[in-house]
Amino acid sequence: MIIKLTQGKIASVSRKDYHFLNQWKWFVSSFNGRYYAATGQGKNRRRMHRVIAERCGLDISGQIDHRDGDSLNNVRSNLRPATQVQNSQNRGKPKNNTSGYKGVSWCKQCAKWRAVIQVSGKQKSLGRFTSKQQAAQTYRKAAKDSHGEFAKC
Protein backbone atom coordinates (compact mmCIF):
# COMPACT_ATOMS: atom_id res chain seq x y z
CA MET A 1 0.00 0.00 0.00
CA ILE A 2 1.08 3.58 -0.53
CA ILE A 3 1.29 6.58 1.77
CA LYS A 4 1.64 9.98 0.12
CA LEU A 5 4.46 12.18 1.33
CA THR A 6 5.47 15.76 0.60
CA GLN A 7 7.39 16.74 -2.56
CA GLY A 8 5.34 14.28 -4.62
CA LYS A 9 7.07 11.26 -3.04
CA ILE A 10 5.39 8.08 -1.82
CA ALA A 11 6.28 5.39 0.71
CA SER A 12 5.31 1.74 0.28
CA VAL A 13 4.07 -0.07 3.37
CA SER A 14 2.52 -3.41 4.27
CA ARG A 15 -1.26 -3.64 4.55
CA LYS A 16 -0.83 -4.49 8.29
CA ASP A 17 0.77 -1.09 8.93
CA TYR A 18 -1.22 1.19 6.62
CA HIS A 19 -4.01 2.28 9.01
CA PHE A 20 -1.68 2.50 12.00
CA LEU A 21 0.71 4.82 10.11
CA ASN A 22 -2.09 7.07 8.85
CA GLN A 23 -2.58 8.50 12.33
CA TRP A 24 0.40 10.78 11.54
CA LYS A 25 1.22 13.20 8.75
CA TRP A 26 4.34 12.00 6.91
CA PHE A 27 6.83 14.12 4.99
CA VAL A 28 10.03 13.55 3.03
CA SER A 29 13.24 13.90 5.00
CA SER A 30 16.63 13.86 3.30
CA PHE A 31 19.72 12.34 4.92
CA ASN A 32 23.05 11.51 3.23
CA GLY A 33 21.49 11.97 -0.20
CA ARG A 34 18.63 9.55 0.48
CA TYR A 35 14.94 10.21 1.05
CA TYR A 36 13.09 8.85 4.08
CA ALA A 37 9.51 9.17 5.32
CA ALA A 38 9.41 10.99 8.65
CA THR A 39 6.93 12.48 11.09
CA GLY A 40 7.25 14.88 14.02
CA GLN A 41 9.79 17.61 14.70
CA GLY A 42 13.03 17.97 16.63
CA LYS A 43 13.49 15.27 19.25
CA ASN A 44 10.04 13.89 18.40
CA ARG A 45 10.98 13.20 14.76
CA ARG A 46 10.62 9.55 13.81
CA ARG A 47 11.37 7.77 10.57
CA MET A 48 8.69 5.49 9.20
CA HIS A 49 10.96 2.48 8.73
CA ARG A 50 11.96 2.58 12.41
CA VAL A 51 8.32 2.88 13.54
CA ILE A 52 7.45 -0.19 11.46
CA ALA A 53 10.53 -2.13 12.61
CA GLU A 54 9.66 -1.48 16.24
CA ARG A 55 6.04 -2.49 15.60
CA CYS A 56 7.31 -5.79 14.08
CA GLY A 57 9.50 -6.51 17.09
CA LEU A 58 12.80 -5.99 15.27
CA ASP A 59 15.82 -4.84 17.27
CA ILE A 60 15.98 -1.09 16.65
CA SER A 61 18.99 -0.41 18.88
CA GLY A 62 21.16 -0.32 15.74
CA GLN A 63 20.30 0.55 12.19
CA ILE A 64 17.42 -0.68 10.05
CA ASP A 65 18.42 -1.71 6.55
CA HIS A 66 16.23 -1.64 3.44
CA ARG A 67 17.04 -4.92 1.65
CA ASP A 68 16.42 -3.49 -1.83
CA GLY A 69 18.20 -0.20 -1.09
CA ASP A 70 15.00 1.85 -1.60
CA SER A 71 14.68 3.96 1.54
CA LEU A 72 11.00 4.67 0.81
CA ASN A 73 10.09 0.97 0.49
CA ASN A 74 8.96 0.32 4.04
CA VAL A 75 7.18 -2.97 3.43
CA ARG A 76 7.91 -5.28 6.38
CA SER A 77 9.73 -7.87 4.28
CA ASN A 78 12.13 -5.16 3.05
CA LEU A 79 13.30 -4.16 6.55
CA ARG A 80 15.93 -5.88 8.69
CA PRO A 81 18.17 -4.94 11.61
CA ALA A 82 21.76 -4.23 10.61
CA THR A 83 25.01 -2.92 11.97
CA GLN A 84 26.44 0.24 10.42
CA VAL A 85 28.94 -1.93 8.49
CA GLN A 86 26.21 -4.23 7.14
CA ASN A 87 24.10 -1.25 6.15
CA SER A 88 27.00 0.28 4.22
CA GLN A 89 27.70 -3.07 2.51
CA ASN A 90 24.16 -2.92 1.13
CA ARG A 91 24.67 0.47 -0.55
CA GLY A 92 24.73 0.69 -4.31
CA LYS A 93 27.45 2.20 -6.42
CA PRO A 94 28.36 5.84 -5.75
CA LYS A 95 26.79 8.55 -7.91
CA ASN A 96 30.21 9.51 -9.30
CA ASN A 97 30.88 5.93 -10.49
CA THR A 98 31.96 5.89 -14.14
CA SER A 99 32.43 2.14 -14.71
CA GLY A 100 28.79 1.22 -14.15
CA TYR A 101 29.81 -1.39 -11.57
CA LYS A 102 30.22 -1.13 -7.82
CA GLY A 103 33.83 -1.63 -6.71
CA VAL A 104 35.25 -1.13 -10.22
CA SER A 105 37.29 1.84 -11.45
CA TRP A 106 39.81 2.67 -14.16
CA CYS A 107 43.49 2.72 -13.18
CA LYS A 108 45.26 5.31 -15.36
CA GLN A 109 48.75 4.23 -14.29
CA CYS A 110 48.35 0.61 -15.45
CA ALA A 111 45.63 1.23 -18.09
CA LYS A 112 43.43 -1.52 -16.64
CA TRP A 113 40.22 -1.88 -14.68
CA ARG A 114 40.71 -2.40 -10.97
CA ALA A 115 38.39 -4.06 -8.47
CA VAL A 116 38.48 -3.11 -4.77
CA ILE A 117 36.30 -3.98 -1.80
CA GLN A 118 35.97 -2.66 1.74
CA VAL A 119 36.40 -5.44 4.33
CA SER A 120 36.67 -4.84 8.08
CA GLY A 121 37.17 -1.12 7.50
CA LYS A 122 40.07 -1.61 5.11
CA GLN A 123 40.18 -1.36 1.35
CA LYS A 124 41.32 -4.60 -0.25
CA SER A 125 42.57 -4.78 -3.84
CA LEU A 126 41.04 -7.63 -5.83
CA GLY A 127 43.26 -7.18 -8.86
CA ARG A 128 43.54 -5.43 -12.22
CA PHE A 129 41.70 -6.61 -15.32
CA THR A 130 41.56 -5.96 -19.05
CA SER A 131 37.75 -5.72 -18.99
CA LYS A 132 35.47 -4.01 -16.53
CA GLN A 133 33.15 -7.03 -16.70
CA GLN A 134 35.95 -9.26 -15.34
CA ALA A 135 36.59 -6.77 -12.55
CA ALA A 136 32.87 -6.61 -11.74
CA GLN A 137 32.58 -10.39 -11.64
CA THR A 138 35.53 -10.57 -9.24
CA TYR A 139 33.97 -7.85 -7.05
CA ARG A 140 30.59 -9.66 -6.99
CA LYS A 141 32.17 -12.91 -5.82
CA ALA A 142 34.24 -11.15 -3.14
CA ALA A 143 31.20 -9.16 -1.93
CA LYS A 144 29.06 -12.28 -1.60
CA ASP A 145 31.88 -14.11 0.19
CA SER A 146 32.61 -11.31 2.67
CA HIS A 147 29.25 -9.51 3.01
CA GLY A 148 26.81 -12.44 2.70
CA GLU A 149 23.16 -11.41 2.48
CA PHE A 150 24.14 -7.73 2.72
CA ALA A 151 26.22 -7.85 -0.50
CA LYS A 152 25.06 -5.27 -3.02
CA CYS A 153 26.71 -5.66 -6.38
Judgement on whether residues 13 and 65 belong to the same structural domain of the protein: yes
Q: Give CA separation, 85 vs 109, 117, 118, 120, 133, in Å.
A: 31, 13, 10, 8, 26
**78 within domain boundaries:** yes
Alpha carbon 126 to its chain's center: 23
Judgement on whether residues 53 and 16 belong to the same structural domain of the protein: yes
Look at residue 89 in the predicted model and tell me its pLDDT: 83
The CATH number linked to 130 is 3.30.730.10
Q: Where are the alpha helices (DSSP H) in the chain?
A: 15-21, 48-55, 84-89, 132-147
Contacts (Cβ under 8 Å, ≥6 apart) of 108:
none
Distance CA 135, CA 131 (A): 7
User: Residue 145, Cβ neighbours under 10 Å: how many?
Assistant: 11
**64 within domain boundaries:** yes
Look at residue 11 in the predicted model and tell me its pLDDT: 98
Judgement on whether residues 27 and 46 belong to the same structural domain of the protein: yes
Judgement on whether residues 114 and 137 belong to the same structural domain of the protein: yes
Look at residue 120 in the predicted model and tell me its pLDDT: 83
Judgement on whether residues 9 and 65 belong to the same structural domain of the protein: yes
Judgement on whether residues 116 and 75 belong to the same structural domain of the protein: no
The DSSP bridge partners found for residue 117 are: 124
Residue where a domain terminates, one of 52, 82, 112 = 82
Q: What is the DSSP letter of 72?
A: T
Judgement on whether residues 31 and 99 belong to the same structural domain of the protein: no
User: Residue 43, Cβ neighbours under 10 Å: how many?
Assistant: 5
Q: What is the DSSP letter of 124?
A: E
**65 within domain boundaries:** yes
pLDDT by residue for the chain (153 residues), tens digit each?
999 999 999 999 999 999 999 999 999 999 878 899 999 999 999 999 999 999 999 999 999 999 999 999 999 999 999 998 898 888 888 888 999 999 999 999 999 999 999 988 899 999 999 999 999 999 999 989 988 888 887
Judgement on whether residues 114 and 138 belong to the same structural domain of the protein: yes
Number of domains in the chain: 2
Look at residue 94 in the predicted model and tell me its pLDDT: 84
Contacts (Cβ under 8 Å, ≥6 apart) of 114:
104, 105, 106, 107, 125, 126, 127, 128, 129, 135
Distance CA 60, CA 51 (A): 9
